[in-house]
Structure 1
Amino acid sequence: MAELVFFSGTMDSGKSTLALQTDYNHAARGHTGLVFTRNDRAGAARISSRLGLETTAREVDDDTDFWELVADERLRGCLIDYLVCDEAQFYSPAQVEQLARLVDEVEIDVFAFGITTDFRTRLFPGSARLLELADRTEILQVQALCWCGRRATHQARTVGGVMVVEGEQVVVGDTASSAVVAYEVLCRRHHMRRMTASAARQYAMSDETRLDLP
């Protein structure tokens, strides 16, 4: 039977890599699928992995209707076996419900990949609906690490190198420290303390300076 499966993890846990691998594995067995993404850091209509893998995809926007897209494909004589949906945290709850309907009524497997919480530690609406509706939720086994070495569980946003906990929920950035808007994974302890890797280094340097004082 078809399933709606939500693969969840923090940044750097290999979600997009697994999405690409999932599409490859099913296509290699002769299955026909559609690949979707939204707000990928590589640009519109792209799925990119931090390992350097990248491929084209269909860009999801506010007007995307998955039910209609699959219906159009079927009218053209293309039977869809599966959907791969990357960056699913950015989908609307209504779009997640469309995906669930495709699983239940058309027997299409849907593999969704995304993070659960934003930089404020609040659930993304799309992820919340996936947690509510998914047949299975899989936590990715590749553990992203905080700068301290603990397992990273939270996303942090920095603006101009300073961690922020207020602002729009969706702002596309990168993990590069040189970016104006950047993201970093932290353990809960250091997210609560707003201590990024850069802040920790600055604190250590100032502490060393104090120790050197006569």
Structure 2
Amino acid sequence: MAELAFFSGTMDCGKSTLALQIRHNRSARGLTGMIFTRNDRAGEGRISSRLGLVTEAVEAGEDFDFHAHLVRHLTAGGRVDYVIADEAQFLSAEQVDQLARIVDDLGIDVFAFGITTDFRTRLFPGSQRLIELADRVESLQVESLCWCGARATHNARTVGGRMVVEGAQVVVGDVGGDRGDTGYEVLCRRHHRRRLTAAAAGAGPLSPDVLPAEGFAASSGLPRQNGEPSRP
């Protein structure tokens, strides 16, 4: 049975890497896929991983109809064994419905990848609809880390180095970088609530000796077990 699978997580947790790995594994078995994306950091019509992997993709804009696109391709004699939709959080609810129709009507597996919540901790429309419709929802096992060493669960937007909680839901940027004045950072819930980014806390790179479990000590000012001074 074909299925609609949604793989989700915070920024910087390897979603696009997994999408490209799925493509590689199926291509190696002679399967043909169709790959879609929207607003990738590498530019229009591309899927890119922070590991440096890049592949061409179909840019799915606001008016794009996934189901109609596949029907036209198949009617013209094309072949599609699976579909990958990266940056699926940017899709509309109607477009997610189209992905579900591809599974149900055409019997083709669809693998969607996306961030669950935005910088305001609110569900993206595409992610919400995928959670409602998907046959399988999986959280990626590669955990992003907050600057304190704790597991990162929230996506923060920064403007001019300061965290913001107002503005348009979609502004393209990147983790650890910026597009103009806008950048993004992953934080634990505690530091997202306090709007305490690495820059605001004066935190440098994590020491190799710092474990995620020590994140509470780092954020609360308690002494660390190894005797290192706590971060601000």
TM-score w.r.t. length of structure 1: 0.92
**Conserved in 2, the CA contact under 8 Å of 1:176 and 1:182?**
yes
- Please report how far the alpha carbon of residue 25 of structure 1 lies from its aligned counterpart in structure 2 after TM superposition: 0.9
Shift, 1:178, TM fit:
5.5
Q: CA RMSD in A?
A: 1.0
- Segments of structure 2 that go 5 or more residues without pairing to the other structure are 204-232
Distance 1:89 1:50, change over 3 A: same
Extract structure 1 runs of 4+ deviating beyond 3 A.
176-179
Per the alignment, residue 77 of structure 1 pairs with 77
Q: Distance in 2 between matches of 1:72 and 1:11?
A: 34
1:123-159 CA-to-partner distances (Å, cap 9, x unmatched) read: 0000000000000001100000000000000000001
> How much does 1:177 deviate?
4.5
Aligned residue pairs: how many? Answer: 202
| Alignment-derived partner of residue 117 in structure 2 | 117
What's 2:195 paired with? 194
Cα distance in 1, alignment partners of residues 178 and 76 from structure 2: 47
TM-score, scaled to structure 2: 0.85
Contact 1:161 1:177 in 2 (8 A): no
Partner of 1:154: 154
Contact 1:88 1:114 in 2 (8 A): yes
Q: Match for residue 44 of structure 2?
A: 44
C-alpha distance in 2, partners of 1:111/1:100? 11
Single out whichever of 157-166 and 71-80 deviates more from structure 2. Answer: 71-80
Task: For 1:87, give the aligned amino acid.
Answer: E
Contact 1:6-1:137 at 8 Å conserved across structures = yes
Provide the residue aligned with 2:5 in structure 1. 5
Sequence identity percentage: 67
Per the alignment, do residues 28 and 111 of structure 1 end up closer, same or farther by CA in structure 2, a change over 3 Å counting? same
Q: Secondary structure of the residue that 1:7 maps to in structure 2?
A: strand
| Residue identity in the other structure for 2:64 | T
Alignment of 1:7-46 (within 5 A): 7-46=7-46
From the superposition, tell whether residues 178 and 134 of structure 1 become closer, same or farther in structure 2 (CA, over 3 Å): closer
